[in-house]
Structure 1
Amino acid sequence: MLAFITTLRHPQNSVDYGRVERLLEDTLRSVTQQTSDDYVVIIVGNRRPDFELPPRTEFVEVDFPAPAPATGAQTARAPFVWDKGTKLGIGLIAAARHDPSHVMIFDADDFVHRDLAATVSANPDHGGWVIHDGWMYSRARNVYVPQADFNRTCGTCFIVPIGAYGVPTHLSEGASQEAVAEAYGERLNEIMGAHRNAESWYREHGHALRTLPYRGAVYHVDTGENHSGKSLAGVARPLSAAMERDFGIRPSRGPLNTLWSAFGPSAVATDLSALLRRAIRPLRRRTRR
């Protein structure tokens, strides 16, 4: 079984918490369209979502305080990692009740491939996978691009044996943040609250992850609630039927509007800027002579 685990930020640390919940609802539509039923989804947050959760999905409510003042979606790294890491710690405790072979931590606004649970089900003793190549998608423009070094860009990128996390058996889902942090130790900062250097940590601790043989996840940007504030600029591909099928992404606009967005104002501005720089460069050289 594969356990998908995610967390919701504290309502105080968002631009619009209603939007946070709508993003989660879209993400859960993606996660729960798995072609295998061998999965469970665990969500940890301060407030139960205001919509009906899909089957095989559990919500664990915590009363952890806001990690930072009300400054919007972008917070400092340390409080972000503390809040996310301790909530994931609770999520892992909840997931362990289902005895999964593997765990995938995912961000609550991303999308995942429908075959992930089937891949785990067919390989229950596998040492784990890392997504090196994925996609970046902009709901605002309804377009996407390939994303290399995916695991250093997006946190929805590792499928690992649950044993890698050292889930504490002496803690319950009602444990305090301090108890959770103490129990998980360095894992909290290295592989739970952050992801950029997690592959190295796994390797150094005996978990040599293999590259997932297909693009298994989509990094969703331009949401207004991204901690990174990341945006997709330049020319991009209009959302395809294959992306809709494999990741459960619903189109955000009609085909003509999407086509314009793929080559429209932001993309054109980026390309014209590059063209102008290339055109001006020879003139500058002749002027110097």
Structure 2
Amino acid sequence: MTSMRHPRNATDYAYNERLLQKTLKSISAQTSSQYHVFVVGNEPPNFALDDRVTFVPVDFEPPRPVSGPHADRSGFVLDKGSKVGVGLIAARSLNPDWVMIFDADDFVHRSLTEFVHGRSDAPGWVIRRGWIYSQARNGYRRQDAFNGTCGTSYVLPYAAYGVPAGLTTSATQAEIAEAYGETLTSVIGAHRHAVAWFAERGRELRDLPFRGAVYHVDTGENHSGKNLRGLIKPWDRKLGHQFNIDSSRSPLATVWQCLGPQAWVQSCLTFSMRAARKLRRILNRSR
């Protein structure tokens, strides 16, 4: 389940569509065929969709801009949450067992569907360990505390979202927001505190025992604006196979981007700043 940002809240909407296409390509490599993807947005993608992908149109207004095309956090949460909420309503027709909300530029491990369907008694799964990846640099590194950084982090039973029975996909954004209530702002449109939110309601999520997703940054379209700096691992066949990600640069250019002088300088600066902060904390405690 994913949503596309409003075209008026994108730096380059055609580029957003290309990112979505790569994400759907990643998902299409699942080792199990027991999945279906719902994409919710204001405009249908400009490329043909696979039989396992359904586009659900909405006519919601764009979130309020703050600086440039990107929305502020409250606008982002409402836009994403209400669109995914519509997607959950659309998915009801398939009577799904599980739902994974993913960002439209991330990548998913090829074995995820097979793993989840083989453990139907689980209360839900959280991805605490994943990868962070830059197509611009063609490299990646480990990302722990993954669910605090990336929204592509949870696989939950469909029932966990409490999809309102009386709503249809033609409901207004205000009706969607009112019907879902706190669920929309806490765990549909946002993700950082989902583990605690579900635990408070008696659902203790299990840790996925492998790195199940890739957080794609350096796109210019991330709401977080996050970049991948410093020394990183060059793209390799293992990453490509597990997540169906193609190499974006030649081998030589990849090594230069991931392990070259600029990457070394960035890593040294990062290390120096962390050491300085740690020293300041020690000095402050000793006073």
TM-score normalised by length of structure 2: 0.92
Q: 1:178 aligns with which of 174, 181, 197?
A: 174
How many angstroms does 1:277 deviate by?
Answer: 7.9
Match of 1:283 in 2: none
Contact 1:101–1:125, Cα closer than 8 Å, also in 2: no
Identity %, equivalent residues: 51
* Pair 1:83-2:79 in alignment: yes
Give me the whole-angstrom Cα distance separating, in 1, the residues matched to 2:183 and 2:152.
17
Q: 1:31 aligns with which of 14, 27, 32?
A: 27
Counterpart of 1:270 in structure 2: which amino acid? Answer: Q
Match of 1:159 in 2: 155
SS at match of 2:223: coil
Contact 2:65–2:72, Cα closer than 8 Å, also in 1: no
Contact 1:222–1:231, Cα closer than 8 Å, also in 2: yes
Q: Structure 1 pair 272/151, CA: closer, same or farther in 2 (3 Å)?
A: closer
How many angstroms does 1:240 deviate by?
Answer: 1.1
SS at match of 1:106: coil
SS at match of 2:63: coil
Over the residues paired in the alignment, what is the CA RMSD in angstroms? 1.8
Give me the whole-angstrom Cα distance separating, in 2, the residues matched to 1:65 and 1:277.
42
Give me the whole-angstrom Cα distance separating, in 2, the residues matched to 1:254 and 1:46.
36
Contact 2:229–2:267, Cα closer than 8 Å, also in 1: no
How many angstroms does 1:33 deviate by?
Answer: 1.2
Contact 2:124–2:206, Cα closer than 8 Å, also in 1: yes
Pairs aligned (count)? 276
Counterpart of 1:67 in structure 2: which amino acid? Answer: P
Give me the whole-angstrom Cα distance separating, in 1, the residues matched to 2:186 and 2:267.
38
Match of 2:214 in 1: 218
Give me the whole-angstrom Cα distance separating, in 1, the residues matched to 2:55 and 2:197.
29
How many angstroms does 1:192 deviate by?
Answer: 0.8
Q: 1:270 aligns with which of 266, 270, 279?
A: 266
Give me the whole-angstrom Cα distance separating, in 1, the residues matched to 2:214 and 2:140.
9
Q: Structure 1 pair 35/22, CA: closer, same or farther in 2 (3 Å)?
A: same
SS at match of 1:179: helix
Q: Structure 1 pair 176/241, CA: closer, same or farther in 2 (3 Å)?
A: same
* Pair 1:199-2:195 in alignment: yes
Match of 2:234 in 1: 238
Give me the whole-angstrom Cα distance separating, in 2, the residues matched to 1:38 and 1:132.
24
Q: Structure 1 pair 118/274, CA: closer, same or farther in 2 (3 Å)?
A: closer
Give me the whole-angstrom Cα distance separating, in 2, the residues matched to 1:272 and 1:160.
40
Q: 2:165 aligns with which of 139, 145, 169?
A: 169
Give me the whole-angstrom Cα distance separating, in 1, the residues matched to 2:125 and 2:234.
29
Give me the whole-angstrom Cα distance separating, in 1, the residues matched to 2:270 and 2:11.
33
Match of 2:281 in 1: none
Query: Mind listing any 5+ residue stretches in structure 1 that lack a counterpart?
Result: 281-289
Moved over 4 A (4+): 274-278
Q: Structure 1 pair 276/94, CA: closer, same or farther in 2 (3 Å)?
A: closer
Counterpart of 2:20 in structure 1: which amino acid? Answer: L
How many angstroms does 1:74 deviate by?
Answer: 3.0
Give me the whole-angstrom Cα distance separating, in 2, the residues matched to 1:229 and 1:44.
22
SS at match of 2:241: helix
SS at match of 1:39: coil
Which stretch of structure 1 is more off in the superposition, 73-82 or 252-261?
73-82
Query: Mind listing any 5+ residue stretches in structure 2 that lack a counterpart?
Result: 277-287
Q: 2:127 aligns with which of 120, 127, 131?
A: 131
